[in-house]
Amino acid sequence: MSWEDMGKRISRAKCACGEGYVEHSYDLYGDDWNRYENRNEKVEIVCPFCKVAYHIEGNYLVPNGLALKGYPPEHKFNFEFDEWLVATFSDDELTEILEDMKISKFSTRLSLTNSQYVVSQFGSRKLAKIIPVIEKCIANYTSFVWNKARVGKLKEIQHKTTRIITDINKIVYEKSYVLSFKSV
């Protein structure tokens, strides 16, 4: 059961100047199990002007010197529970949560939304297990690298970077030409 050549497939799209075209071609292969694969795939600008002025990115002719940028991945932290507490809540908020837990004594009686959220993230509803962790976090708050303020600053930088990339991409998309391929 070998792969069988099922012929060359060619599709074309008008180029940016309209005098030539962009050609997408590949050889289609199939087997007895109805599996198909493309081989020898290539996309080529067949226009003397556009070949010098543009390059291909995805389904776009993009002017040389510009590029469509992807967005930087948002940093994902893998925090332990105590690190998560410090990164999520300020020192004052942790103190409020601790007081709510000491007064309420049971997780079903908590009055603060933040306290309920902490219990939901801990994995156990027993406040006797959570309270010592929060006390440790409050006592050592300044020794943690990622506190709420630093995480907020990092997110602000990431947001600004994403906004700049979005603005640049908008300009590049405006200057780029969308390719609409049709079979030949």
pLDDT tops 80 at residue 70: no
pLDDT in tens, 116-128: 999 999 988 999 9
Name the DSSP letter for residue 68.
Answer: P
Identify the pLDDT of residue 174.
93
pTM for this one?
A: 0.62
The CA distance from 69 to 82, in Å, is: 36
Strand order in the sheet with 177-178: 54-57, 60-63, 177-178
Q: Give Cβ neighbours of residue 113 (< 8 Å, ≥ 6 apart).
A: none
Cα–Cα distance measured from residue 168 to residue 176, given in angstroms and rounded to the nearest whole number: 12
At 23-69, the pLDDT tens digits run 999 999 999 898 999 999 999 999 999 999 999 998 999 999 998 87
Residues 160-182 have pLDDT tens digits of 988 988 899 899 999 999 999 99
At residue 2, the pLDDT reads 86
Return d(Cα 23, Cα 9) in angstroms, integer. 10
Question: Helices marked H in 2-141 — which ranges?
Answer: 48-53, 81-88, 91-104, 113-122, 127-139
pLDDT surpasses 80 at 73: no
Model pLDDT, residue 1: 61
Residue 75 is classified by DSSP as: P
DSSP 184: -
